[in-house]
Structure 1
């Protein structure tokens, strides 16, 4: 029986779990079992009203694995960070309150790919507003508009150029294929902070900085890392010459990064 932890891979906004495929395949060759849930904030006809059902969805997976004696490592991409960090609450050595017994596995660490360090009960919208205030509010007439368009049903459509934002380092035909698979997602999950937890304070984090990311540019990623470290987080970084979706464009390098991170967590 493998002693390697189970990897729980959480996709970002407007995406489904399909883009984990190349990375999961490479990691399977190294003996890793991966779980790639389709998070409840997207791919539905009606929007969920908060992020809490998503956090509960992921926490259930963590509970199922740890109750079998399996350790877990979260791999969070982009907005998936909010669910992944929050769902490990109570499943760590620092806070074992939700572990079923002394033989349970636990959440060992977090791997973040161009993502966030969520704060307790703080939504992404509030986090972004605070960041803008700290930098100085831009002139509304010149401030860039977010590439999201709400629908009558309460969903958000991605209204920008997804090839440029998400897949700028992929061959055009492949980038267009993935762009065509983008999903609408709930507009409410960005604005609600209920259940959000700073799990990155409870376990070590390895963060992959994506140097060519057009969706979350490198200085923004670096600012999140600095703030987390200043708050007491144990954050190790590596850099990769890739856009926002390196699991597609650089899967071999990402697989090596994951293996290095897991080895560090397991010492």
Structure 2
């Protein structure tokens, strides 16, 4: 009998909500996975915001904890800002750590999808500063006085060039919401990638988390002693929309590996 497939918990990016991943969730379900995508509180559009990176982390930790306590094996699929949330939230929930305590279930893999994967004490904007791109922030993002923000050109910066029909792109863009951009300036406290096996899906045409950022994340993890299984998709920042089959193929290879 074939082993049961792991449960996938998809941790979404900024501006996105679970509906933004409907195409990918459907494709993963057709491939035999059970998929969960909890909505992060930083996208609840409350003004002034009442949630930040740490609130998001608490929600994801609670959600995944309930699955692993039920004996589930979980693959965490982390997109964009979701990499910060997953890294911060999932420390101590790895399958190997739990097995060492005589516990069933746990997170078997972190799969970063054009996502931030940085050490403890690092914020997203620290990486932007490192690459000398802070002057691009007001061009890309529109911040209000309460720190909530919108993406100024999501069709270019989040979707990018693709063969996806225009009406499908427009449906996707319509799911995006105002987000608490303060989360980009807050450092993570934990780095779960130090203790849970990692894969990284590079998006080579990404204009939001450029490929050189993505390569630096992988390089940093490998220098810290964490091997990283890598995949490359010739697409922009939202492979959930523009390279769906490639994402499913990567997840399958991680699981089978």
Aligned residues: 252
Determine if contact 1:5/1:72 at 8 Å carries over to the other structure.
yes
Pair 49,126 (structure 1): closer, same or farther in 2 beyond 3 Å: farther
Q: CA RMSD in A?
A: 2.3
Query: Match for residue 250 of structure 2?
Result: 257
What is the rounded CA distance, in whole Å, between the counterparts of 1:28 and 1:177 in structure 2? 20
Q: What's the TM-score, normalizing by structure 2?
A: 0.89
Per-residue CA distance 1:157-198 (angstroms, 9 max, x = gap): 22x2111111122333332332232211113212222x5311
2:144 to 151, 160, 177: 151
| Partner secondary structure for residue 42 of structure 2 | coil
2:69 to 54, 67, 81: 67
2:231 to 235, 238, 262: 238
User: Which runs of structure 2 are paired with 1:62-101 in the superposition (5 Å)?
Assistant: 62-93=64-95, 95-96=97-98
User: Which runs of structure 2 are paired with 1:58-207 in the superposition (5 Å)?
Assistant: 58-93=60-95, 95-96=97-98, 102-129=102-129, 131-132=130-131, 137=132, 143-146=135-138, 147-158=140-151, 160-168=152-160, 169=162, 170-193=164-187, 196-207=189-200
Q: Is 1:52 the counterpart of 2:54 in the alignment?
A: yes
| Partner secondary structure for residue 236 of structure 2 | coil
| Partner secondary structure for residue 156 of structure 1 | strand
Determine if contact 1:210/1:242 at 8 Å carries over to the other structure.
yes
Pair 231,176 (structure 1): closer, same or farther in 2 beyond 3 Å: same
4+ residue stretches of structure 1 with deviation over 3 A? Answer: 93-96, 170-173
Determine if contact 1:81/1:112 at 8 Å carries over to the other structure.
yes
Q: CA deviation at 1:125?
A: 2.3
Question: Which residues of structure 1 form unaligned runs of 5+?
Answer: none
Q: CA deviation at 1:49?
A: 5.0
What is the rounded CA distance, in whole Å, between the counterparts of 1:148 and 1:246 in structure 2? 20
Structure with greater helix percent: 2
